[in-house]
Amino acid sequence: MSVDATQPYDDRNIFAKILRGEIPCRKVYEDDFALAFHDINPQAPMHVLVIPKGAFVSWDDFSAKGTEAEIAGFVRAVGTVARDARLVAPGYRLLANAGTDSHQEVPHLHVHLFAGRPLGPMLVR
Ligand code: 5GP
């Protein structure tokens, strides 16, 4: 079911459980602000999710309530994940679903990082 991004944060969501170590993940990167791990159902040869460590439902919530340090740390972490995976030259795609129309499923902000092949048009037409 899609997330209502206007709802308060629910710490029973699956990514909150991953952050607490209650559910395993295939970790790619971690620092004070972010955790990156492989998507369980990859849509490209490389499909990584980058999530902030703070309790934010969506991009809307994060951009409104995140501190300068949290926002800078998260954005830098996304860049670091791509750079460390040597994706700058071939290229990659970032995608963040927010709310019902986007089909956001997990109510903890996450940025999808897709790479590893030409990714085609941005949206299905
Ligand atoms: P959304 O539609 O919310 O933008 O994307 C949620 C993503 O989380 C999906 O791509 C889905 O495959 C992934 N996902 C859902 N549950 C898990 C899980 O338990 N572990 C991992 N690694 N990914 C998950």
Is the entire prediction scored with pTM above 0.75? yes
Contact 51, 108 (CB under 8 A): yes
* DSSP class per residue in 28-40: EEE-SSEEEEE-S
> pLDDT tens, 54-104?
999 999 999 999 999 999 999 999 999 999 999 999 999 999 999 999 999
Distance 111 CA to ligand 1 centre (A): 11
> pLDDT tens, 36-55?
999 999 999 999 999 999 99
Q: Which domains does the chain have, with CATH numbers?
A: 14-115 (3.30.428.10)
Distance 115 CA to ligand 1 centre (A): 16
Q: Per-residue pLDDT for 1 more than 80? A: no
- Tokens linked to 60: 């809307």
Does 14 contact ligand 1 (Cβ within 6 A)? yes
